[in-house]
Amino acid sequence: MEDKRSSRARWPQESRMIKGTYDFIALNYYTANYSVNASDHSHGKPHVARDSQVKSLTSKDGIPIGESDHESSWIHVYPEGLLDYLLYVKNKYNDPKIYIAENGIDQYDDPESPQPLWEALSNYKRVSYYNKHLSILKTAIDKLIFNLSHTVYLNIIT
């Protein structure tokens, strides 16, 4: 039985109208999290943050999901999560065209003391992040999990 507080329950007609009407699916991927059931915490006024009835965690049994030495504490580098995400979308939505609209990590730039250009271009953390994520995509394409024409990096956040 569907929870009456969920977005589908609040807008049933709209949910039925848009089902299956996509030409492509665009994804943003920065990091991954573990998810646990949080249906007991969904009480109160309906809110998009509670509709999924899950709680996101960055570690399991004290072990982080991926490395976290970047400017944002919420980003843990876990390229396998991108593959999992793409496989989920491929299977759930019948192998749609997929565009990866955003992917990347941030970097703090102090406006009072900007980095010299050579230092900004030597951003090993960002290069490593993209290398790991693009490598996982290449592996998926090489193993014919995804058709190259259906998986495109649209924009890389810098």
Whether 68 contacts 77, CB under 8 Å: yes
**Secondary structure E strands in 6-153:** 25-29, 34-37, 54-57, 59-60, 63-64, 98-103, 151-153
Pairing of strands 63-64, 54-57: unpaired
Among 86, 69, 66, smallest CA distance to 77 is for 66
Q: What pLDDT, on the 0 to 100 scale, is given for residue 42? A: 57
Banded pLDDT at 158 (limits 50, 70, 90): very low
**Res. 12: pLDDT tops 60:** yes
Return the percentage of the chain with pLDDT > 90, whole number: 12
11-28 mean pLDDT:
82
Sign of CA dihedral 135, 136, 142, 148: negative
Whether 129 contacts 105, CB under 8 Å: yes
**Res. 132: pLDDT tops 90:** yes
pLDDT tens profile 36-93? 888 776 566 777 777 778 888 888 999 999 988 667 888 899 999 999 998 898 888 8
119-136 mean pLDDT:
86
Would you kindly state where each structural domain of the chain is located, as residue ranges?
21-31+73-153
115-152 burial code (b ≥16 CB/10 A, e <16): eeeeeeeeeeebeebbebbeebbeebeeeeebeeebbe
Q: What pLDDT, on the 0 to 100 scale, is given for residue 120? A: 74
**Res. 131: pLDDT tops 60:** yes
Q: What three-state secondary structure class fits 76? A: coil
Residue 49 is inside which H or E element, if any?
Answer: helix 48-51
Is pTM beyond 0.85 here? no
